[in-house]
Every structure is written in C-alpha cells, then in structure tokens.
C-alpha cells in the first residue's frame, strides 16, 4: 500500500514537471494543495522526501521563463512553495541551484504595480531568505533595493504587501554581508524615518507587525559595530527612546517595545568600568602570582562585536539548566581510586587532631582545646552563655527579643517538634509597599519604643548632641581602648556605656570578646575598624519575611533610565564620593551626599559615584589577587535621610542571573534601630532587578576572546531614620571573628563531664590566621575499659563550610549545627553518644576576612584544589584532605562527609551527591551500567531530609558527577576516600518555593534550623542502617514516643519498622527499603 502511495505521488510530481497542458498542471497543483492542507506536517515532509521541493521549483522556473508567464499557475505554485519551503531545511540551497531565486526576483520586479502577484512573489522570497546563504545571494542580486521600493511611508493601501516586504528585508539582514551593504547604502536613517512615520500615523495600532518588522531590520543591522555607529549617528537612541516613552504600559505594543529595548541595549556604547584597573584594590604577595599589567586606554576594538544580545526578559522563569556535555563518562575516572597524594608517614601528624582515640579518661577531661587568651578573657562577659541544662533554642520568643530584662534562654521546643510535617503554621509578616520601613514590619515595637522608655529617650537625646560622633559609634575602632586620641577615647567610653545599658542579651555573642578576637584577626588591608552589626550582634526577626513581589516592567524602566542618562546628561552629577583606589579623602561630611565605608572585616565596596541627588553607582571589589568574582558586597552608608527613596546600582556584578530577579532582597542593619533595642538584619529593598549593562572588560590582547560582560543589580532603599548609619549586604554577614567568638563561647557553655568539645587549629592560612577544627562527641560514661572502647569506636561524621567566602548562609547553617550538637536536646545527646563529629566551620578564613566572594588570597577557588592541594599554597584544603586520609588509613572513614555552601540561582536547600550509574545514564553513555555495582545509600540522607526539614527539597538534588567538579571536595572525598555519602549541601540566598516556607525568604533562624535538621537527618540515617545498635533503636523509640503528639508519623514508622525487623538486612546497601515507604 505504501509503495502504491509513493508511486502515485511520484507520478504526480513527474507529470507536474513534464506536462505542458495548463489544465493538467492546475489539477495537480489543486490536488497537492488539498493533500497538504489537512493532516500534520508528516505529509509535507513525506512529499519533500520524494523530491517535492525540486518538482515545484522546476515547475516555477519553467513557467516563469515562458514569453508570457501564466499567473493562474504561478499563484497556487507560490502558495505551495511557501508551505513546503518552511519544512525543507535545504530549500534555499535547492532554489539557488535550480535558479529559482533569480526567476522570483524578476517576477517581483515585473509586478511592483500588481499587488496580488507581488505578494505571492514575496511569500516565496521570505522562504528563500530563511537560509543565510541564499539570503546573501539575494542581497547581491539587488533584493534589498527592490524591497525598499515596496516598503513605503504610512499608507492604508497594500499593507499586507508592505508587511511581507518588511519581513523579507528583516530576514535578509540576518546575513552580515547584507547588513554591511545596508550600512554602506545608508539604509539605517531611512529605516528609522520609515518607522517614525508608521509609528506617528498608526494611532490605532493597526499595523504593529509592520512597525515590528522595521525594528527587526534595525536590530539585525545593529549586531555589527558599523551598524551601531550608523544608528547612533542617525540619532537612533534619541528617536527610539522618545517613541517608547509613552508605550510601556500598552500591552498591544508589546512586540514593538521588546524589540526597541533590545536595540537600545545593543547600541548603548560599550565602555570600561570607571576603574583604573579591574584587578582587586587589595593585593597580597604569595608565590605563583604574576603582577598584572599596567592599565591601558580601552578602545572600541576591546569590546565584543557580533555577539547576540540577550533579549529583554521580564519573566519569572528561573530554571537553571544542567549541561549534559559536562558529565563525566569515563568509567575509569568515575570508579578508579587514585593513590595517596602525599607520603604516608605525613599522615601521622593528624594523630594529634584525634586525641579522642588515644587519650585516657583523665586526659579527655583535661584537654578541652584552645583556651581564651588573656587579652580576650579580660573583656569577656559570660552572662550570654546559656547553661548546659537550658541551651539556646533555635527560635527566640517575643519576650526574648523585645523584653527589657536579661533572661536565661531556654529551649522553647525540641527539634523533633519542628520537623516538616509537624509545623502547624508559619507566621508571616504583612506585605509591605515600596516605601514602607522593613523594621516596622519585622518588629512589633514602634520606632520610639525600645527596651525601656527612659533608656531610649536618653539615647535619642544623645543622638542630638554634637559631641558624639555617630559615624565613629557606628563603626568602632578595634583597639579604641588603647587610642591616644581624646575624641576616640570618649567615643570608646560612650560605646562602653551603651553596651552596659542598652545591649540586649544575645546568646553565644559577646561584643567585648568579639573586639578581642578582631584584634587578633589579620587582614590584607590591616583593618582598624569593626562593622557595628558584627560587634553589637544580631537577633533573628520574629517572623520570616515574604519574597518581594516583582513589579511588572521594572527592568525595562531601569534600562530606560540608563538610556536617559546617556542622551539627557544634564542632571548627572557623576561625583566620586568613595574609592579604595584614591589616597586622598573624597567624602565631604558637610555635603548632602551619603557617606560610604567598607574597610572592615568581610567588607566589600570599592567605589561609590553619586549619579543624581539620591542615586549612586557602586562598584564592588574583585577578590584579592584577582580580576573577577564581584558579587559579595557589605558596606556602611551614613548621612541618610528618612522617607527618601535612594537608588543604588551595583554595576560590576558578574553572574549572568540572580535570585534578585525572583523575589530575593538584600539585607540591612540600622545602627539606630539596634540602639533602640532591635539589633536585627532585615531583608530590604524594592524595585529590584538584575540585568546586563553596557560595561565590558577589555580583552587580554589581539585575537583574544570578547570582553567580559557585567551586570547591574539595582535596588531602591528607604532608610528607617534620618542621620542613621546603616549597613547593606548581599546576605546576612558572618565574619571570621564572629566564628572565633562563637566557638570560644560554645566551649565555655558545655558541661565538660557530658560533652567532649575540643577546638584546635587545623593549620595557619596564607594570611596568618588560624583555621579552627572542632571535635564534638559525648564523654565516655566512665573510665571503664568497655566505656572507653565504645567511645573510641564511634563512627566519624565530617562537616565543612565556607570554602567560598561570599556564601555566608553556609556559616549560619553551620552555626545551627554547632549549637544544636552541644545542646541538651535529646536528639543531640543521642548523636553525641553515637558519633564523633569533626567540623571545619570555615575553610577559607582569609577570603571571609578580606571580603572575597569566592577565592583565597591567591585568587583561586579553593573548592577546585582538592585533587592535588599544596601545603604552602592551599594549606586549609591540604590539611583537611590529610585529616580525611588519616581517618581512612586507620579504618575510621567518615560515614558522611558534607560541605555546606550557598546557591545564588536556586531556591530551597538541597544536596549534591555522587553516583556513577546516574551520571552515565544521564549522559546516555554507551557504556553499559548493568555490570556496575554501586552503593545506592547516597540517596537515603536527602530523602530523609526531604521528609524532615521544612526548607529542604529532594527535587533539586542531583547526583551527577561533572568533569568541571572533579577537583571539588564532594567528588574527591567520594572518589579518593570511598565515602559514598559525600555531599555538598546548598542553601539558597533567597528562600523557598515549596513546603511550609513557600514564598518566604530565609532568615538566619531558618538557616540555623536547617543546620540542626541536618543533624537529625544523620540520626535517622543511622537508625535506618543495618549496623544500628539495638540500644540506640530502643532509646530513639522511647524518645519518639514521648514526642508522639507533635512528631511526624514518618519518624515513628521508621522506628517501628527498624525495631521490629531483623538486622540481617543492610539498609545501607538497598535503598529500595526507603523508596517503598
């Protein structure tokens, strides 16, 4: 049957080409038209496969070359060609070979005054032009000149012909040769005039497709540098800017608005950043760093020429695509275990970091770890330390936040009552408008009501006194107590007075101890000031803040404001008000402009330029010894006015997309609010968007790749008070000094007879700072040999964090983990009694201290150095890996390894793990996976967390091994140490789009909760394993029974199953047990 159909179609096509009978040709064309007008594209593709395109083109050529072309035949023939040509990828080449291009152009020229015939010719030309090669040939043969004769100024006649001609011209101009020809023949001003004419007359918007087609012509020409120059010379920016001003809110003009914005962005003159050099303002002399070349004047040749400009996007799509071509498909690389990367005898140095395996009971009690230094204990105030019997709860109640008296912080609820399904409700702050004060929504108190009315009045009165330097108060000197300056001493005394009378009690924080730790912290720039929020402390807000509802069209408005700055510069101030690169003081405190400062730990702001009275361009510093990784920012701004919207534009961001486009806000800390009893980082900002701007980095030299693009993060902020000092940050800051303060206070808070807490130094960093290593477990019950043996046989869990300095959310998760593990929560006790936790809470102290976003002082990503780290160049990675190797060498390989990170382009919390089979399957590798054996227990922990943690989602987890991640901690620990449960845990900078926290941004409380929930997940993982002891199962069952009313049924079901099943089945080797629940 199929053969008969094929032969029948071939007979028709053959007859069409050979017949001279007019009626027969028309009948065949009618039949083919009927066949192709119904059904799917399969019929057209089938006809193409049988030579249908060639038959139609030959018929066209033969008919057109007669003395008097028969348009009764040609018109249906053109309609068929237009339909078939859209589905034939080689149609243009076939038309060129069969000389159909020339024939069609000739027919079009002959029918300039016959609109119906001309329209049919244009349909065919539109299909021919879809191929760049044939489009270029049409351009050589004069097609563009012909089309410009057809495209007339505004008229209501023959508009279908004009529209089709404009669309054909736009298709032809996709060819660079045609675009160059158009520039040389001055088509750009002509097209601009045509568009202006149609726009001004088309008041009813009846001919938007014509206007759009003309704009597409300009867009394609503007891909060339010469095209952009011609556009600018013809005042194209001014013309299109004027046209679009009154159109932004008209939905019917969306096709026009989108193209106009793309053209304006394409043609905005590219320029270098307003910096002397893109290298970091800070440099640190380390081996292997080559001094960067002196800056040179940049020219137009330094910038990209023919790159495709991104389309104007204002949508909610934020999907991050995983690139399959990066997946590792070499089975040997996935499964082979490399040899030790150092002499085996070197591993013995790590024995001293595992004293819990060798010390006697008396030695364990007497070796708590590094003590506070004398200069630190002098200023330490331990009222903030919760007792071992009543540790800090993860969430503080209202009285603890706003009460006036010191209170011992107690556990409000156990961790088990906060599992995902156990949460009854999440308290939301009210939605706020653009100009509303974030603090007034986060806190229930009014601005004038603090811890006590008289104290607040005294502070408010002191704000009015000229004797007090608010700027100095808001950024205290690290060694203010030892200064010889009278004014500095007075400021220090005032700060001390404030601490004594107005500091709210904050658990695990002490400003005096923080100052002592900050004095010992070594920075590249030798910081002498402290950021007030880090010194004073932070209380989590009472409730989570909702994601910002993005205003429709906000990105377009911001782009047009940038264009206005270019073409209407009369109101531009363009005054540098802060710069790390300038040796002289730039800030005039007597002026009305804001004052900026960032020379403190973790601070990052390189330059501030006042653009207009209330608008500033900001540039963040590149990572030390680097020219890139500009994303993290943290700076102080003072001299604020209340109820005035300020706009800030951070113009040298690097990432191509950001959660700032999808509901995320930056964070703000007000010094006055803190002194009024509300020391809280809050989410703030409105009219936020993130988009590619016109700044480019110069290329490295002749023949180098195009210059790097930069992105603008723009946001508006209304400050809560006049003459306030506020800190703005990318995310909740967490400094190295804060960590060291926290660890010391944690060490003082534990009951040494019950909790083994040891803080020691893993190594010294390149910058001369100590990298802390923390060991947490339970003390043995007694000095009996069996109790000591149980103590030493506990399996290890290894957790690391903050290898990327800008991922401060990882430190807040780690903070929750540490505080939970030393708490009196029953789950924490079980964990301590059954595991030894080795924790490196900050793998990159130098990067954190110096305000880096991603790198170490060598300007390299430390999470790409795990394959072969150097003890001299990457000491923290070298010794972290050495410690893991040592544990493996003595048969104590960790059960779980997890590295805490932050994620800038996804929501929720999720894990990345490693799987050979999933990687090969996803990559569609030809290697068979049926013979590969793999421990599938790597999926168990994320599945557990998906059930427990409100912020966690399994759907975002991935277990693929990418080539580009071969040198990361996750992959190296999995491959070299054989830890099947080796993970990276990613926490969003933004918040959640699922679960109980859906629509909410993360606060520090939610991040700390995730750290505790991770620990609970480790316990459940152990309960599900075949090696779990009967004693642990029994104790856990009793604990869960006590929490029955508030606990998710999921956990009780696990315990019921495990306590009633045999331990012969190894839950770690068969994940199907989990999936069948």
Catalytic residue positions, numbered: 986
Q: Which residue matches tokens 């009951």?
A: 751
**Euclidean distance between CA atoms 460 and 468, whole angstroms:** 12
Collapsing DSSP to helix, strand or coil, 596 comes out as strand
The answer to whether 719 touches 726, Cβ cutoff 8 Å, is yes
**Euclidean distance between CA atoms 744 and 143, whole angstroms:** 79
Distances from the Cα of 945 to the Cα of 338, 644, 813, 1043, angstroms: 32, 44, 14, 19
The answer to whether 624 touches 857, Cβ cutoff 8 Å, is yes
Q: Which of 721, 718, 693 is nearest to 708 (CA)?
A: 693
Q: What's the first-to-final CA gap in the chain, in angstroms?
A: 53
Q: Can you spell out the DSSP letters for 600-655?
A: BTT-B--EEEEEETTEEEEEPPPPTT-S------EEEEES--TT-EEEEEEEEE--
**Euclidean distance between CA atoms 95 and 1028, whole angstroms:** 74
* Alpha helices, DSSP H, located in 141-253: 143-150, 159-172, 176-184, 187-201, 208-221, 225-233, 236-244
Order the strands of the 595-597 sheet from edge to edge: 595-597, 634-638, 725-729, 666-670, 682-684
Residues forming a β-bridge with 775: 758, 838
Letter string b/e over residues 943-963, b meaning 16 or more CB atoms within 10 A of that residue's CB: bbbbbbbbbbbeebbbbbbbe
Q: Which residue matches tokens 């306590």?
A: 1059
Structure tokens at 15: 């007859």
Q: Which of 272, 278, 273, 246 is nearest to 260 (CA)?
A: 246
The answer to whether 856 touches 766, Cβ cutoff 8 Å, is yes
In sequence order, what are the residues at sequence separation of 6 or more whose Cβ sits closer than 8 angstroms to the Cβ of residue 681? 533, 538, 667, 668, 669, 729, 732, 733, 1004
In sequence order, what are the residues at sequence separation of 6 or more whose Cβ sits closer than 8 angstroms to the Cβ of residue 671? 470, 473, 474, 532, 724, 725, 726, 727
Q: Can you spell out the DSSP letters for 364-389?
A: HHH--BPPPPHHHHTT--GGGPPPTT
The answer to whether 800 touches 811, Cβ cutoff 8 Å, is no
Collapsing DSSP to helix, strand or coil, 896 comes out as strand
**Euclidean distance between CA atoms 491 and 489, whole angstroms:** 5
**Euclidean distance between CA atoms 280 and 626, whole angstroms:** 6
Residue 933, classified by CB atoms within 10 Å of its CB into exposed (0-12), middle (13-18) or buried (19+), is: exposed
What is the phi/psi pair of residue 160, to 5°?
-70, -40
In sequence order, what are the residues at sequence separation of 6 or more whose Cβ sits closer than 8 angstroms to the Cβ of residue 770? 740, 761, 763, 764, 845
**Euclidean distance between CA atoms 214 and 219, whole angstroms:** 9
Q: Which of 756, 757, 761 is nearest to 779 (CA)?
A: 756
**Euclidean distance between CA atoms 1057 and 13, whole angstroms:** 73
**Euclidean distance between CA atoms 54 and 327, whole angstroms:** 43
**Euclidean distance between CA atoms 213 and 408, whole angstroms:** 71
In sequence order, what are the residues at sequence separation of 6 or more whose Cβ sits closer than 8 angstroms to the Cβ of residue 1060? none
Q: Which of 563, 559, 565 is nearest to 611 (CA)?
A: 565
């Amino acid at each position: 049957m199929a053969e008969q159909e094929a032969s029948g179609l071939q007979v028709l096509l053959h007859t069409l080409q050979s017949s001279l009978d007019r009626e027969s040709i028309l009948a065949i064309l009618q039949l083919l038209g009927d066949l192709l007008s119904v059904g799917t594209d399969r019929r057209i593709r089938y006809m193409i496969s049988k030579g249908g395109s060639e038959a139609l083109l030959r018929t066209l050529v033969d008919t057109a070359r007669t003395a008097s072309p028969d348009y009764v035949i040609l018109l249906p023939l053109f309609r068929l060609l237009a339909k078939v040509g859209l589905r034939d990828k080689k149609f243009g080449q076939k038309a060129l070979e069969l000389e159909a291009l020339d024939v069609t152009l000739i027919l079009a020229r002959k029918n300039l005054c016959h609109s119906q015939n001309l329209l049919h010719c244009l349909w065919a030309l539109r299909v021919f032009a879809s191929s760049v090669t044939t489009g270029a040939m049409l351009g050589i043969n004069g097609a563009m000149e012909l089309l410009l004769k057809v495209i007339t100024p505004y008229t209501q006649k023959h508009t279908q012909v004009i529209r089709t001609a404009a669309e054909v011209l736009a298709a032809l101009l996709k060819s660079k040769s045609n675009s160059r020809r158009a520039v040389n023949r001055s088509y750009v001003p002509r097209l601009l005039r045509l568009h202006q004419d149609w726009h001004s007359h088309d008041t009813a918007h009846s001919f938007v497709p014509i206007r759009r087609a003309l704009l597409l012509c300009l867009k394609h020409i503007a891909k060339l540098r010469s095209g952009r120059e011609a556009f600018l010379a013809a005042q194209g920016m001014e013309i299109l800017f004027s046209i679009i001003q009154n159109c932004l809110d008209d939905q019917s003009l969306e096709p026009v608005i989108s193209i106009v914005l793309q053209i304006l962005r394409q043609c905005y003159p590219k320029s270098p950043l307003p910096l002397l050099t893109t290298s970091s303002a800070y440099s640190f002399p380390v081996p292997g760093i080559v001094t960067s070349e002196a800056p040179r004047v940049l020219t137009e040749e330094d910038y990209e020429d023919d790159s495709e400009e991104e389309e104007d996007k204002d949508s909610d799509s934020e999907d991050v695509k995983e690139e399959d071509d990066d997946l590792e498909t070499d089975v040997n690389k996935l499964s082979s275990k490399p040899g030790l990367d150092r002499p085996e005898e070197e591993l013995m140095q790590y024995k001293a970091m595992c004293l819990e395996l060798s010390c006697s009971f008396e030695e364990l009690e007497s070796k708590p770890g590094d003590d506070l230094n004398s200069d630190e204990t002098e200023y330490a105030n331990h009222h903030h330390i919760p007792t071992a019997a009543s540790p800090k709860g993860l969430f503080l109640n209202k009285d603890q936040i706003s009460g006036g008296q010191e209170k011992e912080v107690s556990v409000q609820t156990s961790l088990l009552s906060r599992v995902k399904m156990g949460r009854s409700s999440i308290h939301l702050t009210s939605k706020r408008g653009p100009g509303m004060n974030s603090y007034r929504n986060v806190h229930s108190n009014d601005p004038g009501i603090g811890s006590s009315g008289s104290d607040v009045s005294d502070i408010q009165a002191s704000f009015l006194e000229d004797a007090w330097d608010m700027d100095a108060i808001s950024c205290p000197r690290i060694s203010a107590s030892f200064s010889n300056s009278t004014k500095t001493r007075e400021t220090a005394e005032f700060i001390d007075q404030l601490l004594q009378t107005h500091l709210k009690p904050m658990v695990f924080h002490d400003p005096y101890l923080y100052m002592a730790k900050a004095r010992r912290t070594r920075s590249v720039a030798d910081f002498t000031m402290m950021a007030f929020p880090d010194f004073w402390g932070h209380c989590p807000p009472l409730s989570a803040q909702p994601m910002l509802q993005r205003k429709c069209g906000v990105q377009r408005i911001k782009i047009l404001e940038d264009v206005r700055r270019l073409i209407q510069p009369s109101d531009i101030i363009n005054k540098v008000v802060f710069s790390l690169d300038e040796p002289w003081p730039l800030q005039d405190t007597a002026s009305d402009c804001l004052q900026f400062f960032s020379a403190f730990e973790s601070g990052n702001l390189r330059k501030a330029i006042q653009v207009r009275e209330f608008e500033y361009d900001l540039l963040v510093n590149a990572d030390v010894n680097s020219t890139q990784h500009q994303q993290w920012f943290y700076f102080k701004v003072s001299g604020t006015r209340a109820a005035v919207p300020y706009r800030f534009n951070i113009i040298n961001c690097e990432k191509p997309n950001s959660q700032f486009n999808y509901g995320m806000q930056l964070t703000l800390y007000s010094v006055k609010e803190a002194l009024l009893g509300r020391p809280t980082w809050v989410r703030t900002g409105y009219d936020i968007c993130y988009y590619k701007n016109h700044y480019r980095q110069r290329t490295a030299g002749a023949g180098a790749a195009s210059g790097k693009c930069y992105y603008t993060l723009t946001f508006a902020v209304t400050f809560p008070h006049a003459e306030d000092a506020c800190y703005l940050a990318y995310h909740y800051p967490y400094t190295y000094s804060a960590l060291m303060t926290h660890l010391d206070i944690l060490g003082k808070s534990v009951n040494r007879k019950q909790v083994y807490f040891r803080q020691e130094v893993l190594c010294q960093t390149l910058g001369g700072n100590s990298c802390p290593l923390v060991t947490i477990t339970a003390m043995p019950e007694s000095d009996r040999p069996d109790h000591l043996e149980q103590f030493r046989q506990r399996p290890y869990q290894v957790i690391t964090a903050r290898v990327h300095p800008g991922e401060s959310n990882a430190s807040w998760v780690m903070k929750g983990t540490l505080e939970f593990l030393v708490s009196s929560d029953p789950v924490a006790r079980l964990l301590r009694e059954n595991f030894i936790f080795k924790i490196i809470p900050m793998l990159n102290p130098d990067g954190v201290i110096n305000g880096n976003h991603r790198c170490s002082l060598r300007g390299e990503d430390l999470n790409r150095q795990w394959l072969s780290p150097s003890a001299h160049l990457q000491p923290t990675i070298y010794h972290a890996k050495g410690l893991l190797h040592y544990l493996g060498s003595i048969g104590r390989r960790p059960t779980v390894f997890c590295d805490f990170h932050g994620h800038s382009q996804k929501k929720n919390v999720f894990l990345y793990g490693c799987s050979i089979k999933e990687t090969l399957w996803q990559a569609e590798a030809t290697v068979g996976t049926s013979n590969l054996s793999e421990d599938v227990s790597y999926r168990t922990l994320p599945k557990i967390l998906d059930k427990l943690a409100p912020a966690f989602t399994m759907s975002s987890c991935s277990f693929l091994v990418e080539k580009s991640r071969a040198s990361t901690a996750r992959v190296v620990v999995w491959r070299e140490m054989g830890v099947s449960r080796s993970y990276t845990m990613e926490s969003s900078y933004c918040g959640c789009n699922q679960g109980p926290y859906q629509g909410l941004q993360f606060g520090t409380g939610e991040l700390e909760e995730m750290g505790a929930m991770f620990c609970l997940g480790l316990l459940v993982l152990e309960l599900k394993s075949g090696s779990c002891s009967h004693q642990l199962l029994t104790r856990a069952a009793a604990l869960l029974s006590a929490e029955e009313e508030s606990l998710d049924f999921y956990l009780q079901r696990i315990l019921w199953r495990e306590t009633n099943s045999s331990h012969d089945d190894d839950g770690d080797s068969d994940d199907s047990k989990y999936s069948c629940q």
